[in-house]
């Protein structure tokens, strides 16, 4: 049985830094994000996800000068590593852009996106395997020479960065709209309780990213991601809702 749930002894967080702090305590070592491939199952706990987000925040701040007003372009399917990039960016007060062609800021790409003409150059490589490396299905020649997100972040401390998160800061940008941290937290919170199932390439990008990054921290329940497998592959995950 999967235990845990939203914290009822304190008000709902109004920025991502607060959501991370309360969510890490709520989830602990229970699953936050599970990704199912054709031949593999990758899972990250709440503690691990937050630790990677902290390491990533130090990487983005030190090497790429990410802070309030900065943009991190994220071209990747929903997975634990894309969740860690998003949380790291928001922790620092930056904006995640889900659109190709961003002229400024650091660009972080997944092998399924790298190589597309509209994707442009990627500064860091994002895999969704257990160690953050690309899964076997995703390895391509186009990723050669691009430093891996987890490899670069691994040596850095996992203590929280100096949080610059605020509810009114822009958090996520698509081609047509921008959401603040508070608005994105509301999107994630509205996705409901229990174990949630989403399908990479089917669930819209904004909802999918909110589901893997913020929702587990707000609810204390995992999000399960299907990549190239049918819903039947998640029979053992006890998914209560699909979107």
Over the stretch 116-163, which tens digit does the pLDDT of each residue have? 544 467 899 998 877 887 776 676 656 778 899 999 999 999 999 987
Domains of the chain as residue ranges with CATH? 16-242 (3.40.50.12780)
pLDDT for res 132: 85
For the entire predicted model, the pTM comes to: 0.92
Over the stretch 19-68, which tens digit does the pLDDT of each residue have? 999 999 999 999 999 999 988 899 999 999 999 999 999 999 999 999 99
In this predicted structure, which of 20-24, 89-93, 132-136, 210-214 has the lowest mean pLDDT? 132-136
pLDDT for res 115: 61
Q: Inter-axis angle of helices 181-189 and 16-27, to 10 degrees?
A: 30
**How big is the CA angle at 155 (ends 151 and 160), to the nearest 5 degrees?**
110
Average pLDDT over residues 4-29: 82
- Alpha helix positions (H), the chain: 16-27, 46-64, 80-91, 149-153, 181-189, 205-213, 215-219
Q: Is the pLDDT of residue 1 over 70?
A: no
């Amino acid at each position: 049985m999967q235990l845990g749930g939203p914290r009822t002894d304190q008000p709902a967080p109004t920025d991502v830094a607060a959501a991370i702090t309360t969510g890490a305590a709520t989830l602990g070592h229970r699953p936050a994000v599970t990704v199912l491939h054709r031949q593999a199952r990758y899972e990250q706990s709440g503690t691990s996800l937050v630790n990677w987000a902290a390491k990533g925040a130090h990487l983005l701040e030190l090497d790429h000068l990410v802070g309030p007003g900065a943009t991190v372009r994220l071209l990747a399917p929903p997975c634990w590593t894309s969740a860690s990039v998003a949380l790291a960016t928001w922790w620092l007060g930056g904006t995640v852009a889900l659109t190709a062609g961003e002229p400024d800021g650091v660009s972080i790409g997944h092998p399924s996106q790298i190589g597309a003409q509209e994707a442009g150059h990627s500064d860091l490589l994002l895999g969704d395997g257990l160690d953050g490396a690309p899964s076997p299905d995703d390895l391509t020649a186009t990723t050669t020479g691009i430093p891996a997100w987890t490899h670069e972040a691994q040596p850095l401390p996992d203590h929280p960065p100096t949080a610059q998160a605020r509810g009114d800061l822009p958090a996520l940008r698509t081609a047509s709209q921008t959401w603040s941290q508070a608005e994105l937290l509301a999107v994630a919170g509205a996705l409901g309780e229990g174990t949630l199932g989403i399908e990479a390439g089917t669930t819209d990008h904004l909802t999918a990213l909110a589901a893997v990054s913020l929702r587990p921290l707000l609810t204390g329940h995992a999000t399960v991601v299907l990549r190239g497998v049918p819903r039947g592959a998640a029979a053992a995950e006890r998914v209560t809702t699909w979107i």
